[in-house]
């Protein structure tokens, strides 16, 4: 069964690899490639300069407006800034609504990768099948059809009340994030002498833990990512820490391939933690906290370690230094999240949803579906 998708980009980014720090932008980019190459029709709506692999790309925000609103902000050193009532968002909304209207057909899907941030466009096309296809945000869930990045996030969304009340929804499903294997390769057996942290540089991501553990053990730590306010003074970092700045895909790959291991100790319930899987695709073990998606994706003692105390983090790091984790096992786990492995999960979900509109819904038997 082939589908038509209207894939909505993010107004404050361009759908390119340049914006690799934005997980949602990268979801759009990779989804377009994944589904286009499997024969589906993918129409992408985004900022001028976007370059996804798709059936058709439609500019709905000019470079002139984008530069006027965001051009003075250095997203490579500080986290993204935006507002849904700014001129860029408003132009994106208006033009996308018009362009979708020109192209839409009955039973097309419209995909809100940025959730509430592009709801205005979806609300204008309620005759389409609206899906939030990769929920990794903590609020603003609204579409009838929802795909979560992890069981941890789905369960958090449903809340503790769902333990005692029968309130689950068959069509609120879990499909993990997906990665292009061409972007990563297994690193060498002989690694350099540093541990790694890649991500937003603030304590919510646990960078303070990475700094404290490596300082205690007397080993080098390399940090890459956009700086939070509390770490804006790079010169104030301890001597054993090297801040390497914002890294694109190629630089990130090189850092991950050659690291002893990587810290991803998020202090909140991590919806997915794409950096953890990227490390695994480089054969690099990860040390994480013991909650959120890490409880699903970081196999304790196989792909790394999940920790709850300072001693846990110290011992886990020592084990990585001693090479007690097999790099091949890490790569094998990472490959579970390849485009090739995840695409069929999406196709199954979209088929299930389509059956609600065109067949017998939940009761539809596969052998009775006309292809």
Only one residue has tokens 């992890």, namely: 150
DSSP 85: T
Starting at the edge strand found earlier in the chain, the sheet holding 286-289 runs 241-245, 220-224, 194-198, 261-264, 286-289, 304-307
Among the listed residues 297, 229, 194, 247, the one whose alpha carbon sits nearest the alpha carbon of residue 81: 229
What is the token pair recorded at 252? 């990130």
H helix runs in 193-281, sequence order: 207-217, 249-257, 274-281
What CATH number labels 4-178+338-368?
3.40.50.2000
Distance CA 275, CA 266 (A): 11
Q: What is the pLDDT of residue 12?
A: 97
Distance CA 249, CA 366 (A): 40
Task: Answer yes or no: same fold for 4-178+338-368 and 181-335.
Answer: yes
Q: Taking the model in full, what pTM does it have?
A: 0.96
SS3 state at 195: strand
Q: What is the pLDDT of residue 294?
A: 98
pLDDT tens, 92-103? Answer: 999 999 999 999
Domain boundaries, the chain: 4-178+338-368, 181-335
SS3 state at 335: helix
Among the listed residues 236, 249, 253, 172, the one whose alpha carbon sits nearest the alpha carbon of residue 201: 236
In sequence order, which residues have a C-beta less than 8 Å from that of residue 125 and are 6 or more positions away? 6, 97, 100, 101, 104, 110
Distance CA 6, CA 111 (A): 6
Bridge partners of residue 173, in order along the sequence: 147
Which residues in the chain show pLDDT less than 50?
none
What sign results for the dihedral spanned by CA atoms 325, 331, 336, 342?
A: positive
DSSP for 212-230? HHHHHHT-EEEEESPBPGG
Q: What kind of fold does domain 181-335 have according to CATH? A: Rossmann fold (3.40.50)
Q: What is the pLDDT of residue 369?
A: 61
């Amino acid at each position: 069964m082939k589908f038509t998708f209207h894939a909505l980009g993010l107004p404050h980014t361009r759908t390119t690899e340049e914006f690799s720090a934005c997980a949602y932008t990268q979801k759009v980019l990779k989804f377009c490639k994944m589904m286009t190459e499997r024969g589906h029709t993918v129409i992408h709506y985004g900022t001028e300069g976007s370059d996804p692999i798709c059936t058709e790309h439609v500019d709905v925000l000019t470079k002139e407006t984008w530069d006027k609103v965001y051009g003075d902000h250095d997203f490579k050193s500080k986290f993204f800034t935006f507002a849904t009532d700014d001129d860029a968002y408003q132009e994106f909304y208006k033009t996308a609504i018009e362009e979708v209207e020109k192209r839409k057909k009955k039973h097309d899907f419209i995909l809100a990768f940025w959730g509430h941030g592009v709801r205005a466009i979806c609300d204008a096309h309620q005759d389409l099948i609206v899906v939030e296809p990769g929920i990794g945000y903590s609020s603003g869930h609204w579409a009838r059809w929802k795909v979560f990045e992890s069981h941890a996030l789905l369960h958090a969304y449903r809340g503790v009340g769902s333990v005692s009340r029968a309130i689950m929804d068959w069509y609120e499903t879990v499909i993990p994030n997906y990665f292009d294997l061409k972007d990563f390769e297994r690193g060498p057996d002989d690694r350099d002498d540093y541990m790694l942290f890649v991500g937003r540089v603030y304590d919510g991501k646990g960078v303070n833990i990475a700094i404290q553990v490596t300082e205690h053990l007397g080993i080098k730590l390399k940090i890459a990512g956009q700086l939070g306010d509390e770490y804006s003074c790079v010169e104030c970092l301890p001597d054993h820490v090297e801040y390497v700045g914002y890294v694109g895909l190629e630089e990130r790959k090189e850092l991950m391939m050659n690291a002893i291991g990587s810290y991803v100790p998020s202090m909140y319930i991590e919806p997915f933690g794409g950096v953890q899987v990227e490390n695994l695709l480089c054969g690099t073990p990860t040390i994480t906290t013991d909650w959120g998606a890490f409880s699903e994706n970081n196999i304790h003692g196989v792909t790394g370690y999940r920790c709850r105390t300072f001693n846990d983090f110290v011992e886990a790091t020592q084990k990585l230094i001693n090479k007690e984790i097999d790099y091949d096992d890490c790569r094998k786990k990472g490959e579970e999240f390849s485009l090739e492995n995840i695409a069929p999960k999406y196709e199954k979900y979209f088929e299930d949803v389509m059956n609600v509109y065109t067949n017998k819904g939940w009761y539809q038997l596969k052998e009775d579906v006309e292809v």
